[in-house]
A = this chain, B = another copy of it.
Amino acid sequence: MKIKKSDFSEWYNTIIKEAELCDLRYNLKGFIVFLPWSVMSMEKMYKKYEEVLQKNGHRPAWFPALIPESNFKTESEHVEGFTPEVLWVTHAGDSELEQKYAMRPTSETAMYPMYSLWIQGAKDLPLKIYQRAQVWRHETKATKPFIRSREFYWIEAHDVFATENEALVQVKQDMEMAQQVLFEELGIPFLFFKRPQWDKFAGAVDTYAADTLMPDGKTLQLPSTHMLGQNFSKAFNVKYMDENGENKYCWQTCYGPAISRIYAALISTHGDDKGLVLPFDFAPVQIVMVPILKSDSPDNEKIISKCRELEKELSRNYSVHLDNSENTPGFKYNYWEMKGVPVRIELGKRDLDNGSVMLVKRHTCEKIKVPFKEIKKQIDNANKEIKDSLKNKSKEHFESLVSKADDMKSLNSILEKKGGFVRVPFCTDSMDGKPCAEKIRDETHGNVRGSLYNSKEKPKNEKCISCGNKAKIYLYVARQY
């Protein structure tokens, strides 16, 4: 393995290959094959996210993957933003289609024409629908497995409300869902930003996003929420009749956690020089059992039989794999450590005689001797301990990467030396601020990520780090993926 801290990018490229997370050899550029070990974790992530969405009043639907060109062109900013990346279907069999179809890069223009049919009165609101889906964007930027590819796996939630305020409350709920899943469950810390006006979703009024940090100090955008205002409801005629019999345009939000990208953050945040470190709830195998056998020893049968007994018992609550292959114990240790299995149980002759096993926790590599009777309890403990420990560790590291700067030189130096988020005083996050952001990018390779969601902090007598005019807002800068 490559050392994670010193060369994250090489660590990442090595781990996705060694742990068999994906195969890059599919002969279509920007498209990859997701292998069982990552898919099994991502399925668990889907399940968790969908549970939380449903608890918050969302219901699942499946919309078509193809969008007729006429739908797609209805909202002008949106079409401008997405058209350069759209994959177009033009033929069926040998025949040219009368109208070309877009492979959805996102589903606003597939869903909202239906919403306009579904919503009549206030009783139809709020409407909160999500779908688990793949989307396709013919990216021109360099692709990176799980992080940016031409096909990705996400959930998109599209919500409709009678009032602006309800839509804004939804933005808050989306942020809370990110907190609940990303941090509480997956241990991925993030800051929730309101993006500057020059960096929002095509067609949105405002864009909010959860940004995490990768081990090299660069930021990665995770779920984002778009306050669409009435832009799309006007374009797609999504109206409701209020109590006075008046037709009003609805207020909309959309929310998109990209599961494959969150997986990239998961493995990067917790992984170490030995490989993956997976939280219990998202590990395809939670416990691996390694019997320590000696060639031709008469004890082998007893050891295996005890392993099978423990496997059966633990399988009631956990996903257990007994590695009975012909490889050496040392090979197995390395292999399953690389795969990130949270707990290993070793059982040899001496353990059997002692009535105990060696239990090894992946996240610390701590080895403890556990009597047979206490295994179940110790694993329950380990489950909780690992979750807490991963969260604490990642949070501490993350917080150490949030800094402040008030001149370009120190900004550049922080970004260069440790990366992370740097708070800077800034003139404005309206379109007028764009040249200042460009100057930052040119001088520091830093990208302005926006202001902290719902933050009350405001500069008093400070100057914009870029133009030197009076600073009205704090924005955060980071180098990005």
Contacts and interface: CB of A to CB of B under 8 A. Distances in A.
A25 B63 CA distance: 12
Contacts of A94: 83-84
A266 B64 CA distance: 22
A91 B102 CA distance: 10
A305 interface: no
B61 A39 contact: yes
A117 B27 CA distance: 12
A103 interface: yes
Interface in A45-95: 59-68, 70-71, 83-94
Contact of A34 (B39, B62, B85, B92): B62
Given A27-B68, A39-B61, A66-B151, A89 B92 contact: no
A47 B39 CA distance: 14
Contacts of A33: 61-64, 114
A129 interface: yes
Given A33-B114, A35-B61, A92 B101 contact: no
A113 interface: yes
A28 B66 CA distance: 8
A190 to B, nearest CB: 25
A474 to B, nearest CB: 37
A364 to B, nearest CB: 29
A85 B93 contact: yes
Nearest to A84: B93
Work out how many copies of this chain go into the complex. 2
B84 A59 contact: no
A32 interface: yes
A419 B300 CA distance: 62
A331 interface: no
A134 interface: yes
Interface in A8-28: 23, 25-28
A31 interface: yes
A105 to B, nearest CB: 11
A62 to B, nearest CB: 4
A153 interface: yes
Contacts of A35: 61
A138 interface: yes
B86 A32 contact: no
A379 B136 CA distance: 45
A93 B86 contact: yes
A358 to B, nearest CB: 28
B91 A83 contact: no
Contact of A61 (B34, B67, B89, B92): B34
Given A39-B61, A60-B36, A65-B134, A89 B103 contact: yes
Contacts of A66: 28, 31, 87, 136, 151
Contacts of A118: 23
B85 A28 contact: no
A184 interface: no
A40 interface: yes
Interface centre among A62, A88, A103 (most CB of B within 10 A): A62
B129 A36 contact: yes
A43 interface: yes
Contact of A153 (B40, B62, B90, B117): B62
A67 B68 CA distance: 21
A60 B43 contact: yes
Contacts of A113: 26-27
Interface centre among A26, A129, A138 (most CB of B within 10 A): A26
A151 B60 CA distance: 18
Nearest to A20: B118
A90 B59 CA distance: 35
B91 A136 contact: no
A60 B87 contact: no
Contacts of A101: 28, 87
Contacts of A110: 26
B90 A83 contact: no
Contact of A28 (B39, B68, B151): B68
Contact of A65 (B27, B36, B64, B136): B136
A107 to B, nearest CB: 11
Given A33-B63, A86-B92, A91-B100, 17 more contacts: A23-B114, A23-B118, A27-B71, A32-B64, A33-B61, A36-B129, A39-B61, A39-B62, A40-B59, A40-B60, A65-B151, A66-B136, A66-B151, A84-B93, A88-B92, A90-B90, A103-B103
